[in-house]
């Protein structure tokens, strides 16, 4: 039996028509092992991280300056302490292309419209580097939770994670964003080699249904893009009906949109599973846009000093620069909003900026998100562990560790990269690594 006999017949016949002489090379790519990659997170990683992982990394991904291939038969980077610390994100090399094309710059207001599980959102956040706004949206509630967890793990402070359908989001954010990423739900043909089970869900009808849905999503994205803004549309499918034809029809509906660049990665030509991306620009008509100005600041729920005393005490004792402005209290959960945060009232928000922690009776408990977002020089008391040490494994398994430290909250780091909290009492550092993340 051929290694590619699992492929749907209609898919094979269409690809043979579309690819012509390249078809057999494309088909042979399904007989090869899948190629794995990761992407370093500029919010936390530095050159030392790459050097420390030299025994895992292979070649750099040519279109992604932070992307590297690795051999998943000899290494398991998903279990490495650096992964838990958010130093990198495991992401197919092809999927790293669209954000590189989008050209995000610090200070941009960005939207990732179909964002789960978070690969492209965290890549966008790396280019923002804490400056600007990122709205990461995922309509499916269970997938939005995974998105929020990945935003947290990578230490991102300036993201708002929302779970809404594009039409409601478009009503809330008319002509608001400088850069929009639309990694649209698709028929997933680029996943066949990686996940043959995806073949069972594929049909010619599903391709047509996806194309219709993609057109609707793009129209809503258009409504949220400022004049002069840029939009990148991408899929992990090979169907022209979902890719080039969707973009051509979109431009026909919106003549003020221009195709700047179009790129397709084929699995028989590059090391990756394949991807399609199109960068589009909206004409700048010279109008003065007031939409963003009128929504530039989130209406903060008023909090009295007494309610915040426990947090302010923690901040004074533990942080070098207390995060005491732009605070939002939702019930007993305290958030730090990014500068220029939009009004997200009326939307289903999973994460409104940086989650600082929980105000409990007569005490404040800092969040895991805050730990991951802090650098060691931003905290008064830290305790560093080596990535190869027994202590870091003990910590990730939920055990106490011991050291010569002052009593109180301690930021635990691995080779200098923040990974979680501990609380020291007479040399014993009690473990506050979340139970749901612990290794077993």
Catalytic (active-site) positions: 236
Task: Count other C-beta atoms under 10 Å from residue 304's C-beta.
Answer: 7
* Cα 140 to the center of its chain, rounded Å: 16
| DSSP conformation class of 358 | E
Q: CA 114 to CA 108: how far, in whole Å?
A: 18
Q: Which residues of 68-100 are buried (b: 16+ CB within 10 A; e: fewer)?
A: bbbebeebebeebbbbbbbbbbebbbbbbbbbb
The residue whose two tokens read 């939920």 is 398
Residue 156's Cα: distance from chain center in Å? Answer: 9
Do 80 and 45 touch, CB atoms closer than 8 A? Answer: no
Alpha-carbon distances of 119 from 97, 192, 254, 356, rounded to whole Å: 11, 19, 29, 23
Q: Which of 81, 83, 105 is nearest to 39 (CA)?
A: 83
For the chain, give percent helix, strand, coil, nearest 5. 35, 25, 40
Contact 202, 189 (CB under 8 A): yes
Judge contact between 281 and 223, C-beta under 8 A.
Answer: no
Q: How far is CA 200 from the centre of its chain?
A: 28
352: Cα separation from own chain's centroid:
15
CA distance 255 to 283: 9
Where would I find the beta strands (DSSP E) of 67-132? 67-70, 88-90, 109-112
The strand pairing partners of 231, in sequence order, are: 180, 280
Nearest to 223 by CA among 175, 169, 292: 175
Residue 338 corresponds to which tokens in the numbers above?
Answer: 């990014």
Q: Which residues contact 322 (CB under 8 A, 6 or more apart)?
A: 312, 315, 316
């Amino acid at each position: 039996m051929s290694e590619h006999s699992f492929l749907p017949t209609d898919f094979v016949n269409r690809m043979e028509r579309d690819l012509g002489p390249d078809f057999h090379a494309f088909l042979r790519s399904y007989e090869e092992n899948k190629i794995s990659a990761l992407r370093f997170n500029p919010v936390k990683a530095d050159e030392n991280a790459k050097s420390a992982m030299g025994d895992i990394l292979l070649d750099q991904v040519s279109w992604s300056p932070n992307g590297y291939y690795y051999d998943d038969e000899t290494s398991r980077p998903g279990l490495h302490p650096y992964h838990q610390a958010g130093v990198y994100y495991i992401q197919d090399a092809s999927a790293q292309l669209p954000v590189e094309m989008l050209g995000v710059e610090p200070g941009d207001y960005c939207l990732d419209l179909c964002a789960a599980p978070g690969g492209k959102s965290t890549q966008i956040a790396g280019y923002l580097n804490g400056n600007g706004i990122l709205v990461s949206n995922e309509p499916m509630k269970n997938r939005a939770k995974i998105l929020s967890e990945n935003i947290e793990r990578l230490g991102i402070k300036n993201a708002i994670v929302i779970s809404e359908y594009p039409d409601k989001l478009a009503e809330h954010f008319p002509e608001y964003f400088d850069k929009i990423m639309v990694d649209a739900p698709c028929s997933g043909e680029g996943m066949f080699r990686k996940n043959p089970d995806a073949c069972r869900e594929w049909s010619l009808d599903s391709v047509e249904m996806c194309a219709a849905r993609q057109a609707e999503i793009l129209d809503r994205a258009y409504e949220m893009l400022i004049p002069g803004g840029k939009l990148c549309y991408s899929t992990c499918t090979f169907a022209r009906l979902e890719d080039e034809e969707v973009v051509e029809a979109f431009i026909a509906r919106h003549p003020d949109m221009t195709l700047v660049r179009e790129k397709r990665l084929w699995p028989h030509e590059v090391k990756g599973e394949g991807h399609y991306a199109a960068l589009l620009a909206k004409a700048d008509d010279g109008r003065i846009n007031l939409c963003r100005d009128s929504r530039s600041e989130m209406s903060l729920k008023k909090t009295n000093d007494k309610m915040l005393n426990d947090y302010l005490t923690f901040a004074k004792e533990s942080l070098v620069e207390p995060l005491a402005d732009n605070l939002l209290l939702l019930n007993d959960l305290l958030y730090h909003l990014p500068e220029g945060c939009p009004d997200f009232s009326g939307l289903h928000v999973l994460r409104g900026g940086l989650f600082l922690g929980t105000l409990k009776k007569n005490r404040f408990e800092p969040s895991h998100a805050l730990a991951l977002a802090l650098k060691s020089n931003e905290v008064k008391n830290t305790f560093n562990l080596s990535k190869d040490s027994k202590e870091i494994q003990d910590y990730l398994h939920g055990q106490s560790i011991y050291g010569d430290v002052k009593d109180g909250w301690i930021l635990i780091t691995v080779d200098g990269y923040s990974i979680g909290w501990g609380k020291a009492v007479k040399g014993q550092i009690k473990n506050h690594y979340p139970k749901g993340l612990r290794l077993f």
